Amino acid sequence: MTDQPPSKSSGVRDYFDRTAQSLPTFTVLNYGFSSDPEDSAIPAEEPEFYCLRLYEHALRSIPILDAEVLEVSCGRGGGAGFVSRTYRPRRLVGVDLSPENVRLAQARTAEAVEFRVGSAEGLDFPDQSFDVVINIGASHLYESRARFFAEAWRVLRRGGHFCYSDGCWADDDCSEDLLSVGFELLERREITANVLRALRRDSPRRAALFDALPNRELREQYKNWGGVVGYRAYERFAAGQTRYFSPRLRRPEASEPLPAPRGPRTLSRCFPRAALHYRYWFRARLRARYRLPRPPARICRTASPTPPAAASRCRSACAPRVHRGDRS
């Protein structure tokens, strides 16, 4: 019997466990939000001001006082602590895949927040347990974003709100996945410019924390994903290769149960051409109903970097897609 390859989730968990040990300083792990003017209740001297501003933006106009709130992928608890202090929910639970993140959250957060180790794609809560579900900048790391959306819908009470924001590839608009689960789209905003503004203002602080690490390889690695100006994550946002969205969603009051999982004889297997036409029709219908922009050229998901010969073959086969191997 051959060993199974490691799953994406296990790799993400191990990575953040190691990061919690080598770089425990951060309490909030996101790219931040900045506007002009800031119009914020957060003290300007707060070290993680811009990271907390993203929470403040995502929770705009959401009734949280005395509500039961779940944060999925709560990280080290800095965001959950801010929500507890600022918005005063009756109950707040934070779930994260990394045991080390949860350990740091439990040690640092003085507020009455319950932290648990758990998976976003299999939330260990009964149906309709929460009034608000929060997820900030994490769903791109999941095995299946659609499974997480279905779980968020399941644990929300009818009329409950889903406060969601994340970055994605330029052609990867998750609106279709969210609406197909059953969410009602209240507002959809692209905040890439706000994220870039926050990263430019916060870059010196981030770079100083990374530069304090003794291991040069780790320093460069963390700068690449940590949003430091001139490094990979920042440059991808600046070039338009990745975008950041912040929709506000709600589970309708009269929402129906989720459809049962399909069996092996799905439409796509039995009638592949019909399934393709249905998918195009469904996407066009969603764009028309919610006035969503048409996506840009598709991005080939061929692993990056790609040898030149393979990249050439991919371009000819996938045109007019943008080849992902050309982005590194």
Distance CA 186, CA 243 (A): 20
Residues 308 and 182 in one domain: no
End-of-domain residue from the set 192, 221, 250: 250
Which CATH number belongs to the domain containing residue 152 in this structure? 3.40.50.150
Mean pLDDT by 10 residues, the chain (328 residues): 57 92 92 94 95 96 95 96 95 97 91 92 97 96 94 97 94 84 93 98 96 93 95 96 95 69 45 56 63 56 41 41 41
Indicate if the alpha-carbon torsion angle 323, 326, 327, 328 is positive or negative: positive
- pTM higher than 0.85, yes or no? no
Identify whether 308 is part of a domain. Answer: yes
Domain match, 196 and 323 both: no
Cα-based distances in Å from 290 to 61, 153, 188, 281, 283: 20, 19, 9, 14, 11
Based on the fold, state whether residues 126 and 212 are members of the same structural domain: yes
Q: Are residues 312 and 212 in the same domain?
A: no
Rounded to 5°, the CA angle 169-172-173 comes to 125
The answer to whether residues 172 and 107 belong to one domain is: yes
Residues 326 and 232 in one domain: no
Assess whether 100 and 215 both reside in one domain: yes
- Rounded to whole angstroms, what are the CA distances from 278 to 88, 273, 291? 45, 9, 19
Taking the chain, what is the end-to-end CA distance rounded to the nearest angstrom? 37
Do 38 and 142 reside in the same domain of the chain? yes
Tell me, yes or no, whether 43 and 171 share the same domain. yes
Does one domain contain both 47 and 153?
A: yes
Looking at the domain assignment, is residue 162 inside a domain? yes
Question: Per the domain annotation, does 178 fall within a domain?
Answer: yes
Q: What is the pLDDT of residue 319?
A: 40
Which residue do the tokens 């009051």 mark?
Answer: 253
Residue 83: phi and psi, rounded to 5, are -65, -40
**Residues 55 and 186 both lie in one domain:** yes
Q: Evaluate whether residue 285 is within a structural domain.
A: no
List the structure tokens of 66: 């005395």
Q: What are phi and psi of 235, to 5 degrees?
A: -65, -35
Under 8 Å between Cβ of 181 and 258: yes
Domain count, the chain: 2
Largest CA distance in the chain: 61
Q: Which domain covers residue 301, as residue numbers?
A: 297-328
